[in-house]
């Protein structure tokens, strides 16, 4: 997880490597399955991914995030806003 993503998820800059499961655990429980299915779909179809979900920061505050990804020829272009 890069420094921008850490900031979006409220993760301290000093936190070491973050795994995929760590990232999923930061999502609101009601959004995890939909988000995971969307990620699997974009990897299988190599299409677009555009989803809005809630992240729960360490202080338990809830933050809405939008993630857009276009996967083309094995490379992902992403933009978190």
Round to whole Å and give the CA distance between 68 and 81.
8
Q: Please, what is the average pLDDT of the chain?
A: 83
Task: Tell me the CATH number for domain 3-80.
Answer: 3.30.450.20
Residues 4-33 have pLDDT tens digits of: 888 888 988 888 877 888 888 999 999 999
Domain ranges of the chain: 3-80
What pLDDT score was predicted for residue 31? Answer: 95
Q: What average pLDDT score do residues 55-61 get?
A: 94
Helix (H) or strand (E) holding 5: helix 3-8
- Residues 78, 2: contact at Cβ < 8 Å? no
The structure's pTM equals 0.72
């Amino acid at each position: 997880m890069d420094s921008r993503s850490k900031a979006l998820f409220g993760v301290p800059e000093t936190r070491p490597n973050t795994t995929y499961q760590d990232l999923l655990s930061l999502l609101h429980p009601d959004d995890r399955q939909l988000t995971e299915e969307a990620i699997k779909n974009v990897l299988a179809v190599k299409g677009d991914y555009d989803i809005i979900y809630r992240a729960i920061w360490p202080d338990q505050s809830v933050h809405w995030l939008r993630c857009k990804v276009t996967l083309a020829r094995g490379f992902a272009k992403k933009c978190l806003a």
